[in-house]
Structures are given as structure tokens and as C-alpha cells.
A and B are shown apart, each in its own frame.
Chain A
């Protein structure tokens, strides 16, 4: 590993985008949630929706502000550190990002102001529309930026002229082979991430008696979303894996930790990859399962990394481990969703202290899964920026020295390590304030003290027992 301008620029890119992606991972889902709450409030007239919405809008404002400022940094990275990449690919990629700005950023920014500050200045219908527009904007943004990312992974619809990519067919460029899968998998992941945060915060509010009905609604809505989306996400992830096998088989080999081609291919559960000698040490394998999962047949072959020259192989460690983290979290999430529904079915979910505690602890799981998934797809496509066509090493700005990039990277690190903890503290402060509702809050159930049976019976509408 050489600490040159290329490597440090990659670290800098990874640093700024990994932090940035946490914000859309949260705000895409939260914007939609707020739009739904505003809609329910508008159409039913029940003030409880508005109380929940206003609680989340405060938190949304902070995370969205952080998303804006960390997002402005991203396009400039193309110019500052990746000028040769920009010169080669701008004809194709920049219009996609241009459409993201035109369709999404302006929409979000203008209507966010109204959503945040305009409750008393516009009609309730317009306020709901503002919430809807912000949510719509976040989805349009995901569409375009993931299209650009996917084109780098599975380029098509271009012609190469003197080392520069020029567009031939825009529909082919936008709807490149990995795009539909990536879009579905990523946006679903963002929704799930948000649902776990909403559920965790709801559980905390309930345990500390900072909210009553509002917190129960949050948990209920989150669980209902999760029981649909988590199984769907496992299916979508499998579909993206198959698509990757078709277009980026070296990435799949890295994910599977497979150096040698073996037929039928076993599934490597765990091991210590050694890229230098191209062997998986201490591997724990299940025979034939790799073939079954990836080719959906018992005897399918998966190419090992040795089929590629050493210069064209991705590193195995990061995608291999990150993939196992992501999948592990996926199944933990499935368990949470199923258990939560079972508890609801038995009418005990809001009293089960252990489950509410679990909700709190699992609240950040989605973020970890998003970062892990991002690592899988981005490290797994190395050593290319445009897959198979433009090398990462040939993408960096020629004027940069390692020392200069080290300085900028250090500054980005310092600033982000101030910004993100502060942002989280500010949001936590809003959560701690709770929701000032009209309904008297129930007794806290923190500390294992169950509700008095009498009060519980009275609230569940009972009494005629």
C-alpha cells in the first residue's frame, strides 16, 4: 500500500462520501415518512399526526442541512481530485448529475423552507404539498445519482474517442444494466434504515414516557413497513447479486472470497483472505451452496479471481467482510420485524420492555448495513472507476502531490468529526425533549416496573372483563 496522491484521494473520497451517504440514508426515508404523516394529518384532521410530524421535521431539518453541506462537497471532488476522470467521463456523467440538481435539489431546497417555517404562512394543503415535494425530490435525487454511479459500474451507450467517453444513446446510459437493481436495493435500504430509527426513537420515547400515543404509532407504522420491506430487500439483494454476477463477475469472486474456480462452488462462510498468495485461510465452507445461491442451480460455476490478471483483481478483504456484515444485519432485521409483529399480534409490543430495548439498540443497524453495502459495491469494482475501461490510478488530478491531499484529507476529517457528532447531539436533544401532546403520558415503564394492571386495562379500553 503506497500513500500516494491516488491512494489518499481514494481515502478522501471514501471519507466524504461515507459520511454523506448516511444522511440521504436517513433523509430519503424520513422525507417520505413526514409526507405520509402530513397527508394523514391533512386528510383525517387528527392532531396526533401533526404532533408526530413536527417532532420529526425538527430532526429532519438538522440532518437535511448536514446533507446539503456535505453534498455540495461531492461534485467538487470530481474536479479537485479526479480531474482526469472528469475529463474522460463528464460528457456522460455530468448531465445525469445536472438533472439531479435541476429536478431534485431545487425542489427540495425551496419546499423545505416552506415545510420548516411555513406552517402558519401557507394553507394546510400547501404545507402537505411542500412535504410531498421534498420527499419526491429526495427520490428523484436517488434516481439520478444512482444512475450515474451505476453507469460507472456497468457502462453502456457510449463511444470512446481519444480516451474520452462520448454519449451515443441516453436511454441506454441512464438505464444501464445495474441501475434498476441498484436503485431498488438502495432506496429500499434507505426506507428500512429510517424505519429502524423511527422504531428505536419511538421505543425510547415510550420507555421514558416522553410520548404516549405518538410513540406507539411510530412503532406500529415502522413495524408494518418493515414486515413488507425487509423480506423484499432480501429478495432485491439477491437479484442485484445475480446482476452483478452477469456484469462484474470479479466483484462476486471477491464477495465470495473465491480465488480458484471450482465446480460446484462451495459457500465460504468465513475465512481470512490473503490477496498476495491468492488463498483463503481458515475457510469455513458449505459444499455446493455457493452455486445454489448465485446460479440458482446445484452445479453452477463461479469464476475465481485467478481468472483475472493480478492487476485487474479487486482486493478481497473489504467486500468479503462487508458483505457478511450486511447480510448478517439483513437477517437480524428480519428477525426484529417478525418478532415485533408476533408481539403486536399478542397485543404486548408496547409493554415488552426487552423488545423496546432491542428496538433502541437496533436503531442504527441500517446505517451500518448501508455503509457495508456501499463498501461491497465500491471496493468490489476496483481497480476501475469506469468498469473495465478506466483505471482508478489513471483518474486522479496530475497536479496533486501526496502531501497536499494529506492536508485536505486531514481537514475534511477534522471538520466532519466536529460536524457529525454535533449534529447527532443536536438531534438527540430534540428527541430528549419528547413530544408535547394533549394526551397525558403513561407512567414510565423504564426500570422494569410494569404498568399497574388496573391502569393498563383501563387504557386498552377494557373494564368489562
Chain B
């Protein structure tokens, strides 16, 4: 009963969901990271208010990404998640602290300082953990049949730590872009300067990953550097370099939208780069997307609802962003 191969559809859907999560929760986690470098209480208030109405909608994409992976490629979920047992644990607990900090700051002043730290500390640690998961993914997994075959500390490598730090700079860059959009005056200037620092960090880290990965994995090197692939694929690094220049300039000019969009563009190119390197693996370097796929009936059943509901979700999510458009006005319920 092979009717329709839904694996390409689910690959695209899941890719979009993960990318959406990375950009949207990325900027609000990034705002959390930058929050740690703000001293002025009103600036902190403005930074937090800029993400308060939307953060849990953004974080919902993490749940959807996780469950989507479980639904479309359950074998990948069952192998990858136990492999990153501790990074996932740390990420979840850090997200707890940072999430409840939005509400718990309204306690006594002594506790307020604690929850302020929980907000930026949680944001930073959750990002680091996500970056480590990404690095472990690129590194590949030890597999034993249909189960993870390594130990719970396989993720602890310099490479994964590098991707962890890289993601912190990356999210902070998105956060800076968001703050430039949503705030004005001194806070916006601060965000512009922070954005440049992050951009340098991103550049170094992405370069490091781009050199390390082909050296560690000859297959990936062959894919990128063999003829004629190099001709088709060279636009990815060239565009990235160009975008870095644009981003650097935009952070110094008066434009408010370009820094955010530039950050999103850099993430998109990195995302495409990783996809090119790993295609068609979903459990690198053991199972392809097709091998890890769930039954056709499972993929079809959820695809029907997803294709119908995602546009609706994007519509009312867009509406809720529209409601809170413009500069932060520092309001609360």
C-alpha cells in the first residue's frame, strides 16, 4: 500500500518548525542573555516586556518540534534524546527557571534579584544546552540496533561545547536585533553595540564549525569540495560572508529592521549548511529520514491536521504579534 511518500513533506514541515523555533525562541532567549548585561532597572523592564506576551507561544514550537520528530521520525527521537539525556535535562530545567521568572519577579525585592538572575542565567544555560545538542547531532551517535548504543556522556566533547557557545552568540544576536526593533534610545544603542560583539562571536564560531566538520567527516568534505558540488554549494558560504558585512554595517546605522532580518538570514544559511552536510541522515550517520520514518498512516494522519492547522496557527500568532506591535510601552496587566 505504497500510495504517497510523505517523508519529503515531513522533512520540510519539521525543518520549518525547528527553524521557526530557533528564530523565535532564539530571539527571546537572546533577549534573556542580553538582560544579564543590562544594569538599569527600566531598561531591564523594557527588555523583559518586549518578550513577555509572546515567549510561551515561541516555546510551544519546541514542544511541537519534539513531538513532530517523535511522530514523523520516531526512531530518531528514540535514539537522539537518550543520547543527550543531560543536555536535555539541563535545558528543560533552565527553561523552567527562565519561564517562571516572568511571573515570579513580582515577589519581594530580595527574591526579585534571584529571579532576575534566573531569567538571564536560565536563558543562557538553555541556549548552551541547545547548542550542545546541535553539536552532538552533527557529531553523530553510537547506535545499537534501534536504540542509542553509547553512554550518557558522549555529548561532552570540545566540538559540542563550541556549538553551544556559538548558539549563545547567535541567539544573543537575534535578541539584539529584536531589542533594536522594540526599544529606543539608550537601550537601543546598547543593543546595537551588543549585536556587533555577538556578530564577531558568531563569525568565529561558525568558521570553527565549518572547518572542523569537514576535517572530522571526510564524507562531508567530499560533498562540499568535490566538483561540481562546489559550484552549486559555494553560494552558501559566499552569501554568509556578504550577510555578515551587511549585518555589521546595519548595526551601526539607523535602520531598525535590517539587524534582526540579517540575524535570521545568518541562521537560515547555517541551517541550510548543516542540512547539506547531513542529508539524508536524521540519525547521523546511521539512519536516513526514510529508515527512521513512522508508518504511512501515522504520517498521513498528522499531516492532514498539520497542513490545515499550521496556516491558522500562523495567522493568529501573527495577529498576536500585531496586537503588541510598535515600541515597548512598559505595561502590565
Contact = CB atoms under 8 A, between A and B. Distances in A.
Contacts of A54: 333
A89 B333 CA distance: 43
> Among B92, B97, B316, B320, which residue has the most Cβ atoms of chain A within 10 A?
B92
B85 A95 contact: no
Interface in A108-135: 109-114, 116-122
A92 B298 contact: yes
B63 A95 contact: no
A411 to B, nearest CB: 6
A75 B83 CA distance: 16
Interface stretch (B52-60, B157-165, B239-247, B262-270): B52-60
Contacts of B294: 90-91, 94
Given A76-B66, A97-B67, A86 B83 contact: no
A166 B317 contact: no
15 contacts: A65-B100, A65-B102, A66-B103, A72-B62, A72-B92, A83-B148, A86-B77, A95-B298, A98-B68, A103-B309, A105-B64, A114-B320, A116-B53, A401-B152, A408-B86
Contacts of B333: 54, 57-58, 61, 116-117, 119
B22 interface: no
Interface residues of B, number: 69
A86 B317 contact: no
Contacts of B78: 79, 83-84, 86-87, 90
Contact of A423 (B70, B104, B149): B104
A382 interface: no
Given A95-B71, A117-B324, A415 B93 contact: yes
Interface stretch (B40-48, B176-184, B300-308): B300-308
Contacts of A419: 96, 100
B99 A106 contact: no
Q: Give the interface SS of chain A, mostly helix, strand, loop or mixed.
A: helix
A234 interface: no
Contact of A98 (B53, B67, B85, B313): B67
Interface in A406-444: 408, 411-412, 415, 419, 422-423, 425-426, 429
A118 B70 CA distance: 35
Given A90-B294, A426-B106, A75 B57 contact: no
A61 B316 contact: no
Interface string A9-35: 000000000000000000000000000
Contact of A65 (B56, B75, B80): B56
Interface stretch (A44-52, A369-377, A392-400): A392-400
Nearest to A403: B152
> Among A75, A91, A92, A95, which residue has the most Cβ atoms of chain B within 10 A?
A95
Nearest to B303: A95
A78 interface: yes
A66 B96 CA distance: 8
Interface of B: 52-54, 56-57, 59-60, 62-64, 66-68, 70-71, 74-75, 77-83, 85-86, 88-89, 92-93, 95-97, 99-100, 102-104, 106-107, 111, 144, 146-152, 294-295, 297-298, 301-302, 305-306, 309-310, 313, 316-317, 319-320, 323-324, 331-333
A102 B305 contact: yes
B24 to A, nearest CB: 11
Contacts of A105: 60, 63-64
Contact of B147 (A65, A80, A87): A87
A75 B147 contact: no
A167 B294 CA distance: 10
Contacts, number: 232
Given A167-B295, A411-B89, A87 B74 contact: yes
Contact of A86 (B52, B70, B306, B313): B70
A404 interface: yes
Given A57-B333, A91-B298, A166-B295, A75 B53 contact: no
A68 interface: yes
Contacts of A118: 53, 323-324
B332 A110 contact: no
Contacts of B97: 415
Contact of A69 (B95, B147, B316): B95
A106 B152 contact: no
B28 to A, nearest CB: 12
B66 A113 contact: no
> Among A101, A105, A107, A120, which residue has the most Cβ atoms of chain B within 10 A?
A101
B316 A102 contact: no
B64 A101 contact: yes
